[in-house]
Chains A and B, each alone.
Chain A
Amino acid sequence: MIESFTLSTGFGAWNAIFWVIAFAIAIIIGWLIWSRGEKTYDTSAGSTAPFLSGNAEPEKAAVHIRAGNLYWGYTEALSGYYRFIKPFHTGNLSDYFLAYLLVTALVLIVVVILK
């Protein structure tokens, strides 16, 4: 019956219900392992607080990594590509019109010549 929920792409198959069942079994196994853990752990004496080699913990706003600093490696690696493509995105309305008319001209040439 679950087979009726299979998405057949003609060259492969994907059934989300099997995936959900497998995921649920994995979660149940994980929960069983977790529930066999140590239940008498005392967290009241600061034993789960972050330890920074004895330094004071900085304030919350300084600890959180902001969006501009994530993926620094990616943006550095692709900096050549970004230097090419960011200048196209000026905010200038004339450039928007120019791009539209250029694409119209290009598609006209392609469709007319390669009929």
Chain B
Amino acid sequence: MIDNLPFLVVAGTIMIGLYAILMKKDLIKMIMGISLVESGVNLFLIALGYRWDSIAPIFTGAPSLAMVMPTVQALTLTSIVIGVATLALLLSLVMVIYRYYHTTDVRKVTKLQG
């Protein structure tokens, strides 16, 4: 049970993020939901690499050679950076929308329909 705790937390975070994306009516809250999904996926990647009783994967002056997997940490760093860029773009687009539509209600930002 305790072995799977990180994955349960990941599942919970992604579910909360999906709830925010689907159920919330405000664009900013939907983008917060996207950010939650991103955080959940990053946590998933890190949790995949963890090994019990291991230390950080740094060779210099390492007390023992049992280390956690380093590749997933590289994947997660890349994913965090991509997430930052995505959030910046999404939020700036919402700012531009707010300047012209004067609302961030997702039911009113529907000029492109049909």
Contact = CB atoms under 8 A, between A and B. Distances in A.
State the majority secondary structure of interface residues on A.
helix
Nearest to A98: B22
State the majority secondary structure of interface residues on B.
loop
Interface in B12-28: 18, 21-23, 25, 27
Interface residues of A, number: 10
Interface range on chain B (Cβ under 8 Å from partner): 10 to 19
A55 B27 CA distance: 58
23 contacts: A86-B114, A89-B113, A89-B114, A90-B113, A91-B109, A91-B110, A91-B111, A91-B112, A92-B106, A92-B107, A93-B27, A93-B30, A93-B106, A94-B21, A94-B22, A94-B23, A94-B25, A94-B30, A94-B106, A97-B21, A97-B22, A98-B22, A101-B18
Interface of B: 18, 21-23, 25, 27, 30, 106-107, 109-114
